[in-house]
């Protein structure tokens, strides 16, 4: 049988559970998923045995349905759908060209370009909802940072912070702004103008941007895991390409020793019949039938084949560098099932001392070899003639099931971290179109963000920009559980009156203080609570309190309402305080402590900047 208790008892126990959860998150000893589940479970068990009873209806609250509402929260649906769409943009190669153009600008000043992007995000977020804005730039920033050898964890949190700061430039920059304005209008009958928050927003935004662009990256650690780090190493593979009749390569002439279509490859030799051409190449034009022996990174080779499907088809038909040609009628490699992986010739392998052609590599593995890595050797002969040695690394292309089947092979050691899906470049334009339509629908209000993002994610999958398995990998379990825990904590705080309790006691302590000091303290209090609840929940809870406090001390209520707008969106110190923080959590591989480390100083900067702006802009007596 359920037991009842006094409201104070509920308040203190709920605060204890929430405080314990926050400490556990920040400590980082346990996985965030485990801590989130522990918070939800503790609240469910407590309110089951000690329910609060509504005097009018006689029903217990908060009930199990409200405490578990986070699992169906629209914010969760929106974030997960946007993560799937971002993964589709990356997988389809839709961002390759924009990133390539940015790289040309960034070659001389990479950090300047990153800061320029942050400034653009801040400015755009003043007029568009900042959640889709961040979703647009996450994959671009991720690709750009990898190209520039900047750890993504150094720039993803600043990206989210820039968007939050920009959301306070106009009234439509954030949903919390509109919520506060709506409730304020209902209470007082007055209306906040479109640019009512622009003046303080510019001051706070300028101060915050200096911190975000120059200081926050220094406070953030490198969080990219070892797997990603290994995949970023620019290893060179020996590759062998044949210029097919009608290929875009046919007829290309070397310019300053480089062929226009092969600028990312280091050409070591060109075999033309019985003749071997060696660099430097002057006045040499490629002919059909030429065999090009080159060194290339995995990324350069992948991008080249993705842009030229005929090259890929030719390699598959010929059996890669092993030369095991198959019949024209043989089925092509399905686009949605292509996988790249690296394997190492194992010690005492039965393949050592033999060539790829001699071992019948394609028949043995159902995969083709695209390139071979062998350190400190200048090889200019046909790769199919190379004698395999232990330690050689082979770059393979094949069907996913065939690649993964190599896990039990004693002769070849599959490097698990290297297995990745081959990009489907033909879907890039479709992916861009779907993403643009989703952002437009959400930004113009045609559809709520959650619905627009869900429709967009579905369109990406049905349009084959990404498959179900890849979409599943884009879903981060940490995000799911941390949103669910945040909603449960918010429900407990609202049901027990925790926010009103804190506000009442703060005002009691500040009795007799100056209006500016009360305004500053009010800002600080809301800024702390908004990191524990959500920005929208804080906005709803504190708008009536803001108006009441202003009336009590004889100050224009609009000043306190504007302070509430800025403080309710100061959700920098926890990942669940704001949707954009949750969006960057997965791509940046962040821990809870990273938001605490980078966010608390920014909360202080924003608080101090707004206090100074209020003193300059408003008459506070």
User: Within this chain, do residues 122 and 169 fall inside the same structural domain, yes or no?
Assistant: yes
Query: What whole-number distance in Å separates Cα of residue 47 and Cα of residue 68?
Result: 12
Query: What whole-number distance in Å separates Cα of residue 396 and Cα of residue 4?
Result: 65
Neighbours of 494 (CB within 10 A): 18
* pLDDT of 26 strictly over 50: yes
Q: Are 91 and 420 in contact (CB under 8 A)?
A: no
* pLDDT of 331 strictly over 60: yes
User: Within this chain, do residues 395 and 302 fall inside the same structural domain, yes or no?
Assistant: yes
pLDDT of residue 296: 86
Supply the CATH number for residue 311's domain.
Answer: 3.30.70.1450
User: Within this chain, do residues 437 and 353 fall inside the same structural domain, yes or no?
Assistant: no
* pLDDT of 418 strictly over 90: no
Q: Is residue 33 part of a domain?
A: no
Burial of 311 (0-12, 13-18, 19+ CB in 10 A): buried
Query: What whole-number distance in Å separates Cα of residue 481 and Cα of residue 201?
Result: 33
Query: Bigger pLDDT: 390 or 133?
Result: 390
Query: What whole-number distance in Å separates Cα of residue 71 and Cα of residue 91?
Result: 28
Phi, psi (deg, nearest 5) at residue 511 = -60, 120
pLDDT of residue 253: 87
User: Within this chain, do residues 251 and 267 fall inside the same structural domain, yes or no?
Assistant: yes
Q: Which residues contact 121 (CB under 8 A, 6 or more apart)?
A: 133, 134, 137, 159, 162, 163, 166
Phi, psi (deg, nearest 5) at residue 338 = -80, 135
User: Within this chain, do residues 263 and 238 fall inside the same structural domain, yes or no?
Assistant: yes
Query: What whole-number distance in Å separates Cα of residue 334 and Cα of residue 313?
Result: 11
Number of domains forming the structure of the chain: 2
By residue range, what is the domain housing residue 431? 74-179+190-229+427-479
Confidence of residue 587 (pLDDT cuts 50, 70, 90): confident
pLDDT of residue 392: 87
Query: Which among 436, 457, 479 is the end of a domain?
Result: 479
Mean pLDDT of the chain: 81
Query: Which among 479, 496, 513 is the end of a domain?
Result: 479
Q: What is the mean pLDDT of residues 266-278?
A: 85
Q: Is residue 248 part of a domain?
A: yes
User: Within this chain, do residues 441 and 404 fall inside the same structural domain, yes or no?
Assistant: no
User: Within this chain, do residues 110 and 139 fall inside the same structural domain, yes or no?
Assistant: yes
User: Within this chain, do residues 173 and 238 fall inside the same structural domain, yes or no?
Assistant: no
Please write the tens of the pLDDT for every residue from 425-455: 667 788 888 988 887 887 677 888 788 889 9
From the list 574, 495, 581, the residue with the least C-alpha distance to 533 is 574
User: Within this chain, do residues 357 and 255 fall inside the same structural domain, yes or no?
Assistant: yes
Q: At what angle do helices 156-166 and 579-588 cross, to 10 degrees?
A: 160
How far CA 76 is from CA of 66, 87, 373, 599, in Å, comes to 15, 17, 44, 22
pLDDT of residue 118: 92
Query: What whole-number distance in Å separates Cα of residue 137 and Cα of residue 160?
Result: 10
Q: What is the mean pLDDT of residues 247-266?
A: 81
User: Within this chain, do residues 242 and 327 fall inside the same structural domain, yes or no?
Assistant: yes
pLDDT of residue 327: 54
pTM comes to 0.63
Query: Which among 424, 443, 470 is the end of a domain?
Result: 424
Kindly write down the DSSP assignment for every residue of 182-215, as one continuous string.
Answer: HHHHHHHS----TTTTHHHHHHHHHHHHHIIIII
* pLDDT of 301 strictly over 50: yes
Q: Is residue 599 part of a domain?
A: no
Q: Which residues contact 607 (CB under 8 A, 6 or more apart)?
A: 520, 523, 524, 527, 567, 570
Please write the tens of the pLDDT for every residue from 46-79: 998 888 887 777 777 788 888 888 788 776 787 7
pLDDT of residue 423: 67
User: Within this chain, do residues 402 and 256 fall inside the same structural domain, yes or no?
Assistant: yes
Torsion of CA 205, 211, 212, 214, to 10 degrees: 130
Classify residue 71 by its DSSP letter: G
Kindly list the strands in the beta sheet with 412-421, ordered across the sheet, starting from the edge strand earlier in the chain: 275-277, 266-272, 291-297, 236-242, 367-373, 393-399, 338-345, 412-421
Please write the tens of the pLDDT for every residue from 482-526: 778 877 877 787 788 766 676 677 677 877 789 999 999 999 989
pLDDT of residue 458: 93
Alpha helices in 168-325 (DSSP H): 175-188, 198-210, 216-219, 226-232, 298-307, 309-318
Q: Is residue 174 part of a domain?
A: yes
Express as a percent the part of the chain with pLDDT over 70.
87
Query: Beta strand 291-297 with 275-277: parallel, antiparallel or unpaired?
Result: unpaired
- Which range among 87-91, 344-348, 377-381 shows the weakest confidence by mean pLDDT? 377-381
Query: What whole-number distance in Å separates Cα of residue 528 and Cα of residue 607?
Result: 11
User: Within this chain, do residues 163 and 248 fall inside the same structural domain, yes or no?
Assistant: no
Where is mean pLDDT largest: 77-91, 478-492, 586-600? Answer: 586-600
Q: Is residue 414 part of a domain?
A: yes
- Which range among 54-68, 155-169, 341-355 shows the weakest confidence by mean pLDDT? 54-68
Query: Bigger pLDDT: 140 or 396?
Result: 396
Phi, psi (deg, nearest 5) at residue 79 = -65, -45
Query: What whole-number distance in Å separates Cα of residue 305 and Cα of residue 335?
Result: 12
Neighbours of 277 (CB within 10 A): 14
Please write the tens of the pLDDT for every residue from 188-239: 888 888 788 999 999 999 999 999 999 999 999 987 654 443 344 457 888 8
């Amino acid at each position: 049988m359920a037991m009842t208790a006094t409201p104070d008892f509920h308040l203190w126990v709920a605060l204890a559970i929430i405080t314990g959860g926050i400490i556990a998150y920040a400590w980082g000893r346990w996985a965030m998923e485990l801590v989130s589940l522990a918070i939800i479970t503790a609240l469910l068990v407590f309110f089951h045995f000690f329910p609060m009873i509504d005097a009018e209806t006689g029903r217990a609250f908060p009930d199990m349905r409200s405490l578990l509402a986070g699992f169906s929260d629209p914010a969760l649906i929106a974030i997960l759908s946007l993560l799937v769409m971002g993964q589709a943009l990356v997988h389809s190669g839709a961002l390759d060209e924009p990133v390539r153009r940015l790289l040309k600008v960034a070659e001389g000043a990479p950090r300047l370009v990153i800061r320029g992007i942050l400034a653009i995000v801040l400015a755009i977020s003043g007029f568009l909802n900042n959640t889709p804005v961040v979703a647009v730039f996450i994959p671009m920033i991720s690709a750009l940072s990898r190209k520039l050898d900047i750890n993504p964890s150094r720039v993803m949190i600043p990206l989210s912070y820039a968007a939050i700061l920009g959301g306070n430039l106009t009234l439509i920059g954030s949903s919390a702004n509109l919520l506060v304005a709506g409730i304020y209008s209902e209470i007082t009958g007055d209306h906040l103008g479109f640019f009512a928050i622009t003046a303080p927003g510019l001051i706070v935004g300028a101060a915050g941007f200096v911190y975000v662009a120059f200081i926050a990256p220094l406070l953030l650690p490198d969080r990219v895991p070892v797997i990603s780090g290994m995949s970023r190493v620019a290893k060179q593979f020996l590759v062998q390409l044949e210029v097919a009749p009608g290929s875009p390569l046919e007829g290309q002439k070397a310019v300053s020793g480089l062929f226009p279509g092969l600028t990312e490859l280091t050409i070591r030799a060109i075999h033309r019949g019985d003749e071997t051409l060696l660099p430097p190449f002057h006045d040499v034009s490629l002919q059909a039938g030429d065999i090009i022996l080159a060194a290339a990174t995995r990324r350069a080779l992948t991008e080249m084949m993705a842009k030229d499907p005929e090259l890929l088809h030719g390699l598959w038909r010929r059996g890669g560098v092993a030369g095991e040609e198959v019949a024209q009628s043989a089925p092509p490699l399905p686009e949605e099932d292509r996988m790249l992986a690296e394997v190492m010739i194992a010690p005492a392998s039965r393949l050592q001392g033999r060539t790829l052609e001699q071992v019948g590599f394609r028949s043995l593995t159902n995969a083709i070899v695209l390139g071979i890595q062998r350190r400190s050797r200048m090889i200019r002969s046909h790769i199919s003639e190379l004698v395999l040695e232990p330690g050689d690394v082979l770059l393979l292309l094949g069907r996913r099931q065939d690649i993964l089947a190599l896990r039990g092979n004693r002769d070849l050691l599959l490097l698990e971290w290297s297995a990745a899906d081959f990009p489907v470049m033909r879907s890039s334009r479709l992916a861009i179109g779907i993403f643009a339509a989703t952002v437009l629908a959400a930004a113009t209000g045609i559809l709520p963000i959650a619905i627009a993002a869900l429709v967009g994610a579905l369109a990406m999958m049905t349009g084959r920009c990404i498959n179900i398995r890849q979409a599943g990998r884009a879903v981060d379990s940490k995000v799911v559980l941390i949103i669910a825990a945040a909603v449960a904590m918010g429900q407990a705080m609202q049901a027990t009156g925790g926010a009103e309790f804190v506000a009442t006691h703060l005002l009691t302590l500040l009795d007799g203080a100056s209006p500016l000091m009360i305004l500053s303290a009010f800002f600080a209090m809301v800024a702390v609570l908004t990191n524990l609840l959500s920005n929208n929940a804080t906005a709803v809870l504190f708008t009536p309190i803001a108006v009441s406090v202003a009336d009590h001390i004889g100050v224009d209520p609009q000043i306190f309402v504007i302070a509430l707008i800025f403080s309710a969106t100061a959700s920098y110190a926890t990942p669940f305080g704001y949707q954009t923080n949750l969006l960057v959590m997965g791509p940046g591989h962040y821990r809870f402590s990273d938001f605490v480390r980078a966010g608390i100083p920014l909360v202080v900067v924003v608080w101090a900047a707004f206090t100074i702006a209020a003193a300059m802009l408003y008459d506070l007596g």
